[in-house]
């Protein structure tokens, strides 16, 4: 179901958003009857608290929503989203001002509160409707919300229904909707086109591996997005234990976030030449699975010793990155659910990123908070380069010891980006472990809104 604001002509109730410290001042301007009603209800202005205000005939004439204290808001990404699902069904309009720098975030959170993954049963939450607040670009916020909805749906869909073929269909539908061009290289044709590592990782699966290549826009700077599309990861011959395999439907979260970001860019008509590359595979077990100690030769000629078949995401990304870098894009970004080490470092709520471009790093760090999309920079630590050099081959896909795993993975990927003028890598989780306002448990977008906010400065748009 589309996540949109209510039609402007819709009948609506005024909604007063109140902090605990502003409640008394607001009450001083109300009738004795309203003051008594609020006092009797115990409404305090706490986050998530709501109260309907009845008129003389008992029908509601307005509503209150708690906005909490500044300290409480600092712990919540979307504050009003808690009220959106607590209010009685109906349409509301903001009746008092919120800080300008919070308007878009709170409007977006309200729309995202209406998201539910309903492919297999109706999980649509009961969510009140909102008129687009004055001063908010309604179209932009709706694009952001529906792009995240796409990403969440892709991550939430199990691999039986979201394998490489289905992921290709989603990309084709997105391309058709926005007038983009798309081509797909599949199966043995990957070898002929020199994508040996994408083929090696995916060749054991029932659905053939493929590289999805989508292009949109004919003017402006060049931007290439590369998303890890491992639709299910068994670990290969280094088979994951059952507990570690439980969430592997989300191992294509990089591709899902990349497609969500591409949708934003196209729907908002940014003046860029966009390219999206998605290596779509399943890392499965069969007689022709790639093996530990195999040495693969990547597209750019580098040899890679396989010391763990469960470190496959960097292999498929390497071929796609090398391919994208051949056109020397102004900016290239990779997104992947790549390492558990990144989760240990920053937890599930932050999207860590790596880049050598100081301007891009500054722009991302500045854009994240305002976009309600927190990111955190980790280093391309040069001394760790030796950890990914096994001696028998150019690179090691899984250095022993486990130290600095997110950094060594990022260093590995950087080896394949020669030619790109600016490169950033995001090692995301793409999953909300526990429900929060505006963020239902399950698939999550991480990084794209921060990237979108950083692009105008980085690409001089």
Domain with CATH 3.40.630.10 in the chain: 142-459
What is the rounded CA–CA span in Å between residue 299 and residue 319?
Answer: 5
pLDDT of residue 207: 98
Q: Which residues of 164-199 are buried (b: 16+ CB within 10 A; e: fewer)?
A: bebbbebbeebbeebebebebbbeeebeebbbbbbb
* Averaged pLDDT of the chain: 97
Report whether pLDDT(358) > 80.
Answer: yes
Confidence of residue 1 (pLDDT cuts 50, 70, 90): confident
Give the model's confidence band at 100: pLDDT under 50 very low, under 70 low, under 90 confident, else very high.
confident
Q: Closest Cα to residue 234, out of 224, 249, 219, 223?
A: 249
Active site residues: 240, 314
Euclidean distance between CA atoms 216 and 222, whole angstroms? 10
pLDDT band at 54 (very low <50, low <70, confident <90, very high): very high
Q: Are 230 and 313 in contact (CB under 8 A)?
A: yes
Q: How much is the pLDDT for 402? A: 83
- pLDDT, position 335: 99
What's the average model confidence in pLDDT over 60-70?
A: 97
Which H/E stretch holds residue 254?
helix 253-267
Does the pLDDT of residue 228 top 80, yes or no?
Answer: yes
Quick: pLDDT tens for 298-329: 999 999 999 999 999 999 999 999 999 999 99
Residue 153 phi/psi, 5-degree rounding, is -60, -45
Choice among 168-172, 265-269, 332-336, 399-403 with the minimum mean pLDDT: 399-403
What average pLDDT does this structure show over 66-75? 95
What tens digit of pLDDT does each residue of 18-33 get? Answer: 999 999 999 999 999 9
Domain 142-459 is in which class?
alpha beta
Rounded mean pLDDT, 350-361: 98
| pLDDT beyond 90 at 99 | no
Q: Give the span between the Cα atoms of 231 and 211, in whole angstroms.
A: 13
Where exactly does CATH 3.40.220.10 map onto the chain? 13-131
Phi, psi (rounded to 5 degrees) for 323: -65, -50
Beta bridge partners, 94, equal 15
- The rounded distance, in Å, linking the Cα atoms of 253 and 156 is 9
Smallest CA-to-CA distance from 113 within 457, 448, 348, 435 is with 435
- Surface-to-core class of residue 254, CB atoms within 10 Å of its CB (0-12 exposed, 13-18 middle, 19+ buried): buried
pLDDT above 80: residue 281: yes
Q: What global pTM score does this model have?
A: 0.97
* Mean pLDDT value of segment 6-11: 95
Give the model's pLDDT for residue 401: 86
**Topology at the third CATH level for domain 13-131:** 3.40.220
To 10 degrees, what angle do helices 405-414 and 313-325 make? 30
pLDDT tens track for 230-278: 999 999 999 999 999 999 999 999 999 999 999 999 999 999 999 999 9
- Residue 406 is predicted with a pLDDT of 98
pLDDT digits (tens, 9 = 90+) for 141-197: 999 999 999 999 999 999 999 999 999 999 999 999 999 999 999 999 999 999 999
Distance CA 458, CA 321 (A): 20
């Amino acid at each position: 179901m589309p996540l949109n604001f209510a039609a402007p002509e819709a009948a609506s109730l005024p909604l007063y958003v109140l902090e605990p410290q502003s409640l008394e001042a607001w009450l001083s301007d109300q009738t004795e009857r309203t003051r008594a009603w609020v006092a009797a209800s115990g409404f305090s202005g706490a986050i998530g608290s709501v109260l309907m205000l009845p008129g003389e005939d008992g029908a509601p004439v307005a509503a209150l929503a708690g906005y909490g204290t500044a300290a409480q808001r600092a712990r919540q990404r979307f504050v009003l989203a808690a009220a959106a699902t607590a209010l009685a069904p109906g349409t509301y309009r903001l009746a008092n001002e919120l800080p300008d720098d919070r308007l878009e975030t709170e409007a977006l959170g309200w729309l995202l509160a209406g998201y539910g993954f309903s492919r297999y049963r109706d999980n649509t939450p009961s969510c009140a409707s909102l008129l687009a607040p004055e001063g908010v670009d309604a179209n932009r916020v709706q694009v952001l919300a529906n792009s995240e909805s796409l990403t969440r749906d892709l991550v939430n869909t199990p691999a039986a229904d979201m394998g490489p073929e289905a992921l290709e269909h989603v990309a084709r539908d997105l391309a058709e909707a926005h007038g983009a061009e798309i081509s797909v290289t599949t199966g043995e044709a990957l070898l002929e086109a020199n994508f040996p590592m994408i083929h090696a990782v995916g060749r054991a699966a029932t659905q053939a591996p493929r590289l999805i290549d989508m292009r949109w826009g004919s003017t402006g700077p060049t931007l290439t997005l590369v998303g890890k599309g491992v639709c299910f990861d068994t670990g290969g011959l280094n088979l994951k234990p059952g507990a570690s395999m439980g969430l592997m439907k989300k191992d294509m979260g990089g591709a899902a976030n990349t497609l969500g970001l591409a949708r934003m860019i196209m729907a908002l008509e940014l003046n860029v030449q966009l390219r999206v590359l998605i290596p779509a595979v399943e890392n499965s077990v069969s007689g022709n699975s790639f093996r530990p100690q195999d040495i693969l030769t990547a597209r750019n000629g580098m040899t890679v010793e396989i010391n763990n078949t469960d470190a496959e995401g960097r292999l498929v990304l390497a071929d796609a990155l090398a391919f994208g870098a051949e056109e020397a894009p102004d900016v290239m970004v990779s997104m992947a659910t790549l390492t558990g080490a990144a989760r240990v470092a920053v937890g599930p709520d932050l999207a860590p990123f790596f880049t050598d471009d100081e301007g891009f790093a500054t722009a991302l760090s500045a854009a994240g908070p305002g976009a309600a999309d927190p990111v955190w920079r980790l280093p391309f630590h040069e001394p760790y380069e030796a950890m990914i050099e096994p001696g028998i081959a150019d690179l090691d896909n899984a250095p022993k010891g486990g130290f600095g795993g997110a950094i060594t993975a990022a260093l590995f990927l950087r080896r394949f980006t020669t030619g790109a003028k600016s490169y950033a890598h995001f090692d995301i989780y793409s999953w909300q472990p526990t429900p929060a306002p505006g963020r239902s448990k399950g698939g999550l977008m991480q990084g794209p809104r921060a990237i979108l906010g950083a692009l105008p400065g980085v690409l001089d748009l």
